[in-house]
Amino acid sequence: ALARALVCDPDVLLLDEPTNHLDVTTIEWLENFLKDFKGSIIFISHDRAFIKSMATRIVDLDRGQLSSFPGDYDNYLLEKEEMLRVEDMQNAEFDKKLAQEEVWIRQGIKARRTRNEGRVRALKKLREERRDRREVQGKVNLNIDDASRSGKIVFEAENVSFAYDGKQIVDNFSFNIMRGDRIALIGPNGCGKSTVLKLLLGQLEAQSGRLHCGTKLEVAYFDQYREILDPEKTVIDNLADGKQEVMVGGRQRHALSYLQDFLFAPKRARTPVKALSGGEKNRLLLARILLKPNNLLILDEPTNDLDIETLELLEEMLANYQGTLLLVSHDREFVDNTV
């Protein structure tokens, strides 16, 4: 699809998430190509490094309103923060005035006088404005429950080899992963990054050499293909398997309440997974793997389809993570901020 769009030599290029599922080398090639493009480019992206490299104007869609911010992404962040601060102040003043008018209307007899009918109409308008106000969407509440410490050596490999479908993925490779390491596995699409993770997880067996797992490992695994999610089951059944409560941080919590931390309203929580967007599926997968205390977190392309705000919250959570982190990602800024 990307090649078809580029080969036509258009005057205007419309790109919807062009970097999704591209490897770093291809993203950098695309950036260089687009910088030489003579026409106009309008693109949607959650890839912050791509936005910083390409955009000269940011158009923000928030609660049905489009706002244009000239300049680069960093300038947009500053101006958007100020816009939200002013909005909060204006909303607080509005709510204060509405509360005062509600007190007045409850006095009753004064409001029924003819000369106060205009004030009553104004109050009705205030109520309508408050009802129609769209609040800023809540944030995902990401918390990770650390398990007890693992052994000092997490993985130890000696002369490991593995081939798949006639293609050599790992050849006579030796390495150690120690407790507390934060490692990003990067490379072109199809080179076998997910296969390496599956070797470490024991889902695949090395064809030669020795691979040893450390002691006291409690593993949480984010699978980019979301294979543990049943598309026919609802969100809540995928999380709690028919139960109403889940164990979070050693305490019982209602499953619907926990899902609201990941922006699933009760109605949405009863939706089949096959009807979810890619971002919603990733939030559900995060909700599921973070239920279990862990000291080894393995994330395979966790940022695909996530919005920028959730990405930044995930980065913040990982910055405070005390265990061992292994991740595969083509998101350059995410890698820079987490390993």
Per domain, the residue ranges of the chain are: 2-63, 73-132, 153-338
In angstroms, the CA 200 to CA 202 distance is 5
The overall average pLDDT reported for the chain is 90
Is the pTM for the entire model greater than 0.85? no
Helix and strand counts by DSSP (H, E) for the chain: 12, 13
Residues 6+ apart with CB under 8 A from 40: 11, 12, 13
Q: Do domains 2-63 and 153-338 have the same CATH topology?
A: yes
Residue 198 — very low, low, confident or very high, per pLDDT cuts 50/70/90?
very high
Q: Strand 182-185 relative to strand 324-328: parallel, antiparallel, unpaired?
A: parallel
Q: Which CATH number fits domain 153-338: 3.30.60.50, 2.40.50.140, 1.20.1250.20, 3.40.50.300?
A: 3.40.50.300
pLDDT in tens, 102-161: 888 887 655 556 567 788 888 889 888 888 887 766 677 777 877 888 999 999 999 999
Residues 6+ apart with CB under 8 A from 206: 157, 160, 161, 162, 170, 199
301 HSE (CA, 13 A, CB side):
21
Q: What percent of the chain is modeled with pLDDT above 90? A: 65
Q: Which CATH number fits domain 2-63: 3.30.2310.20, 3.40.50.10440, 3.40.50.300, 3.40.50.2300?
A: 3.40.50.300
